[in-house]
Structure 1
Amino acid sequence: MKTRILGQLACAAALCAVPFASHALSGITDTAGDFLPTFAGSITSTDLDVLSATVTYDAGKDLFELTSTMAGAIGSTDKGFYVWGVNRGSGVANFQASGITGVRFDSVVLLRPDGTGSIGGVGLAPGSVKIAGNTITGYVSGSLLPSTGFNKLDYTWNLWPRDGAFTGFAAISDFAPDNANFTSTAGVLAVPEPGTTALMLAGLGAVGLLARRRRPA
């Protein structure tokens, strides 16, 4: 009995040594129809109701894949968009005043139904946001999310859709997970790094322009 208790205490101490929330779940499922009671939008906005969310990190490409599936088709809500809060090591409970103490973040990634995205006002590369029915996926270079203490695989996440027709906390329809963060999962992403194709095309265009300029009259 004494040995078992000592073992349990050792496990608890090991968890305490891990950075806050870095040992959370990897990927989550979320209950359908669990709109926040403070949400000012309509419960018919099923594209703002999260059913599942995962984040995969490819260390070789230094690339994050943020994938989420909603209860309705992406873009059904006129001004709807998706906010991924990420704790890179210095996350703060910015929603504490509203009773949400477990959602901690020090940066956010915005994904929009029009296929665009941004981090801190910096736009993601063209082609970084993919939409297929009820699923929206964003590809984010790790260089845009430098660490503030955690290893990138230990970053933790929470997804909250918003209806841009409203402001403040009333615009948030759902937290996924409800009052916690979840971790990234290691993986190899079978996609080009965001912007690779666009950069190649831009480079080819520049080469063609130089060739035309050098052509004798």
Structure 2
Amino acid sequence: MTETTAEELRDEYLARLDEAMRGLPHGVASDIRGGIVEELEGLDAHETAARIAHLGDPIDIAREAQDEVPPAPAYVVATPVAAPAAPRPPATGTRGFAITAALTLSFGGIVLPVLGWFVGAALVCFSPLWKTWEKVTAIVVPFVLFTVSAVLVMTMTGFASSSSGSSSGTGAGPEAMNPLVPAWYDLIWFGVMVLGALLIPASGLWLLWRLRGRAAR
């Protein structure tokens, strides 16, 4: 019967050790294997067998090494949280609404007399892109000027009519009027109409000019 050599005993033990340490980190397994190779180096068969018996079963060596290996840190993968969508501005806070309001204030009275202007004034009031004094200037000032001028013209017209009636009661015939020549109050009334036709559209266009560079809120 052939006697087992020291090299065969060492190779067999190291093969069993490599199999047992397959689950260990590479660095740890290499250190353990290198240390055992140094202990078995230069021994004869009898001494090698005795040293292997002293080292113990490779499975026990691998188990003890596994217990001493620190656990791998757990990595928590953070789930990206979607940023909340920016709230959309209300319809009345957009530039498109403000432009529509200013144009309606300027030309709504032409498309729909009187009522169109009031619709434009209401739309301008709802828009937050203008300051309060800008809204007051564009709405109240033209309205007051036009109203005061109209009342003044009607008052002067009534005064002129009453004066004409009084003079006819004295017995003198009424003064002949040339139909081709307008009366003085007709000229004033025409001036008021022209003032309204220019001032109201200008107020809306002025709001458009004030709107430049302002972002929706």
- Shared fold (TM-score greater than 0.5)? no
| Higher RCO (CA < 8 A, seq sep 6+) | 1
Higher strand share: 1
TM-score class normalised by the smaller sequence: under 0.3
Q: Give the structure with higher Rg (CA).
A: 2
TM-score (norm 1): 0.26
Higher helix share: 2
TM-score (norm 2): 0.26
